[in-house]
Chain A
């Protein structure tokens, strides 16, 4: 009756052999192709280095001014602009400026990569039910797999550092932009699409003139989500050597430095709020045409 009380699992030795062979296989593949993969990611690495250098080497008043200006241009709201200014000043005053710059740098690059990859994937999904059926489960896995788990192959392949960190962040942050691009395009009013067809639009004209613009509010919500998720992964990414606000947090956990953890945690929250409010306000401003409704 052993099989009844205990689940009849695979034999331990066989299981060990299975794990070993998979690990061995992957390791062999890594050794063989590691260089190719690294060259492939070289441009992204340069981009990361460049953006971090730019943010760190430019004197802080310019960066502060730049951030506040972008906040104003995107949101046209005094409230959000002042909030941005105060938050950034506090971050700098509590000596977290450099780490914040590193975090913003990786966040911006990973958001850009997510958008550049995610929107075309989302469009492909919206065009074909087959593609949608194939990609949806992959996205589910990407979102539910604990962040630490996919750090392992990434580290095996690329070691620790900026690029693997970026990969981890992108894997975690890209699903919302893909999903919401797909959803937004699928929700576009059928009659408007018919009108576009009736006037002889090509597939590209239809996408550019009708589908993308009408899906824009949803896509913007996706971008906003992606930014938030990228920030959320900053702490985890710091485990594989990504510098920024995550590292002091990690240090604080290990050594029980409550205040250090709190300060850096709050800085992440502050950056998150700035990016959230500014990107949302920008998205809303894009939709200005739907605000003044006839008869209201």
Chain B
């Protein structure tokens, strides 16, 4: 259950190869005359200066990001960091001030009205933070929405919708109104609506943020299970670092409209780019994020008591060490070859490193 998040990136099915996303030099300035201030912003005018002197808001600044087809790209940041603005550029709910958003080689920003509508109908689907369901429609009539807009025959709409309603665990609720469902169930409707569209690109804007922690975990599992068979390109916005680490194949961190770090969850936890990110990840359960291969030492250990895999998390490694009451374990790759080893000291140090620095009450680490 712990290890299902990691690295399904590279070998997605060929069908989805054309839904990779390439964002180049994207800027968004909110205000009356955004173009007017572009040059100044490019020359280094700060967000604060732009706001105080000119009353314009710098929403996104020089975003360059490439997202691989078939993977989950998380965009993380606090509120006001521009993450929701960023995701809305991918299906152009927001127009950029300058820049390109290429999806499968096509620049979304250059599409005409009709091309854009077709792109939204067939290539993308979106899940919203506050669900954004149609309150006057039953669950089934909400879920068919994408296909209805496409103009498919009604029986086809319904059979597709019923399949996905069942898949997200809402069978039996087809004729309920959204109001009658709990938040978690409403977001299942939102997810089913997006999946019914059968688009290669799934945009999720803080999709689980409005849910209780337990239900959120539950929904994350639903999403990961689905992704294992669907291999969609998913862009997932969140402010929750645990969610980001659990879901993201790659994570981009935004602050004040700029990407300040981009990489795998491992990268970000092990090598935070600055203090801001360090603060972000300080409460992360590192044992469940860091993989054995990230910190292992080269070569086999003579006194190794057991063997773990490169993709095992440190928590599992520590448990193995403790169970075997050994000084070290060997680390094997997928072919069973031993490629390194981990000793108790390294493992524990890697798990507790960050916490030691920030709190004094972390002395309970006795493994």
Contacts and interface: CB of A to CB of B under 8 A. Distances in A.
Do A and B make up one complex? yes
Interface of A: 189, 191-192, 194-202, 205, 209-210, 213-214, 216, 287, 289-295
B134 A198 contact: no
B149 A201 contact: yes
B86 to A, nearest CB: 15
B254 interface: no
A293 B180 contact: yes
Nearest to A190: B132
Listed from nearest, the 7 A-B pairs whose CB atoms lie closest are A200-B121, A200-B120, A195-B132, A289-B177, A198-B126, A191-B132, A199-B146
A199 B125 contact: yes
B179 interface: yes
A88 B91 CA distance: 58
Contacts of A202: 117, 149
B135 A290 contact: yes
Contact of A192 (B91, B134, B150): B134
A290 B134 contact: no
Nearest to B196: A199
Chain B binding surface, main DSSP class: mixed
A220 to B, nearest CB: 13
Given A191-B128, A289-B135, A289-B136, A197 B180 contact: no
B163 to A, nearest CB: 18
B130 interface: yes
Given A195-B133, A200-B149, 18 more contacts: A191-B129, A194-B93, A194-B126, A194-B132, A195-B126, A197-B93, A198-B93, A198-B125, A198-B126, A199-B146, A199-B149, A200-B119, A202-B117, A209-B149, A213-B136, A290-B179, A292-B179, A294-B179
Contacts of B88: 194
Interface residues of B, number: 33
A198 B117 CA distance: 9
B118 interface: yes
A194 B125 CA distance: 12
Contacts of A201: 149
B132 A293 contact: no
Given A195-B126, A213-B134, A213-B136, A292 B120 contact: no
17 contacts: A192-B133, A194-B88, A194-B126, A195-B133, A197-B120, A199-B120, A199-B146, A199-B193, A200-B146, A200-B150, A202-B149, A209-B149, A214-B134, A216-B136, A290-B135, A290-B177, A294-B180
Contacts of A194: 88, 93, 126, 128, 132
Contacts of B135: 214, 289-290
Contact of A292 (B146, B177, B203): B177
Given A205-B149, A214-B135, A198 B124 contact: yes
Q: Give the most central of B126, B136, B148: most A CB within 10 Å.
A: B136
A189 B130 CA distance: 11
A247 B149 CA distance: 53
A158 B203 CA distance: 60
B182 interface: yes
A141 B70 CA distance: 60
B182 A200 contact: no
Contacts of B124: 198
Contacts of A289: 135-136, 177, 179
A209 to B, nearest CB: 7
Contacts of A192: 132-134
A291 B179 CA distance: 8
Nearest to B190: A195
B54 to A, nearest CB: 23
A199 B125 CA distance: 6
B91 A198 contact: yes
Contacts of B91: 198
A197 B203 CA distance: 13
Contacts of B182: 294-295
B289 to A, nearest CB: 32
